[in-house]
């Protein structure tokens, strides 16, 4: 009996050790609009695998500049599809690994619960709306989508003199959240969860008014030999948990 107990203990210890050796630390650069979903995914993934995710949040363009300069990221979850493709083309990403992990949606939002109804023109032309926050279209896909929307609706003049540009969608959201802009075009995921706006008021912009915002993930060269990085990408792409969280924050799926 004593020998069998000792044998079982040794086997259990060996199992724990092998699991610890297999577990990896994975450094992930995450586009600002995907901050909340990534934070929700982190504990679920870590519990399922034993891996540790080290998440950094910010602008895709800024992350790519860091990656080119040797930043130790294993994965990039971008706000667009262009940057992961560029990473592969320029030798910083692993060929064959990019895929669309989410399709972003644009929303006109205000921290004022009564401001935004279903009429974009009424909001932008309102005398009470003196500032409209938009992400810089040269730096952020959501900013580009906002200007495409304005053009589609013939509302470019409505924001003349009112526009406040954010360097990225995170800063753009902060302009609106703090009231420095009465309204703004931001990512739906920043103000929405489980089928409703978590605060303020908003109108989801119909997707036929702007180009599809495909957000791609890519395994970076520094993560090429990190099995945890590969596991996380597979989890993000295939797991029911990841799909449920994307849905909760209003993301679409690639066509």
Residue ranges at the known binding site for molybdate: 60, 169
Pairing mode, strands 213-219 and 163-166: unpaired
Encode burial over 219-244: b for 16+ CB neighbours within 10 A, e otherwise: bbbbbeebebbbbbbebbeeeeebee
Alpha helix locations (H) across the chain?
2-22, 35-49, 60-68, 82-89, 120-124, 141-153, 169-177, 227-238, 240-248
Any idea which residue has 């003199």 for tokens?
Answer: 161
Tokens representing 53 are 């995710």
- The full DSSP string for 133-151 is EEE-TTT-HHHHHHHHHHH
Encode burial over 168-187: b for 16+ CB neighbours within 10 A, e otherwise: bbbbbbbbbbeeebbbbbbb
């Amino acid at each position: 009996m004593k020998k069998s107990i000792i044998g079982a203990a040794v086997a259990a210890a060996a199992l724990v050790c092998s699991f610890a050796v297999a577990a990896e630390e994975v450094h992930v650069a995450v586009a600002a609009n995907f901050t909340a979903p990534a934070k929700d995914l982190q504990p679920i993934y870590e519990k399922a695998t034993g891996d540790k995710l080290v998440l950094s949040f910010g602008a895709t363009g800024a992350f790519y500049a860091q990656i080119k300069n040797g930043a130790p990221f294993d994965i990039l979850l971008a706000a667009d599809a262009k940057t992961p493709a560029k990473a592969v083309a320029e030798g910083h990403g692993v060929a064959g690994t990019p895929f669309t992990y989410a399709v972003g949606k644009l929303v006109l939002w205000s921290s004022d619960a009564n401001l935004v109804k279903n009429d974009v023109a009424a909001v932008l032309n309102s005398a009470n709306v003196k500032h409209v926050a938009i992400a810089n279209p040269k730096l952020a896909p959501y900013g580009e989508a906002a200007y495409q929307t304005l053009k589609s609706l013939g509302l470019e003049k409505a924001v003349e003199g009112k526009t406040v540009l954010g360097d990225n969608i995170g800063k753009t959201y902060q302009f609106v959240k703090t009231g420095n802009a009465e309204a703004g075009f931001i990512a739906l995921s920043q103000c929405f969860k489980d089928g409703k706006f978590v605060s303020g008021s908003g109108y989801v912009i119909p997707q036929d008014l702007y180009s599809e915002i495909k957000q791609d993930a890519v395994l970076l060269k520094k993560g090429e030999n990190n099995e945890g990085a590969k596991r996380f990408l597979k989890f993000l792409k295939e797991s029911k948990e990841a799909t449920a969280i994307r849905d909760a924050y209003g993301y679409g799926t690639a066509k």
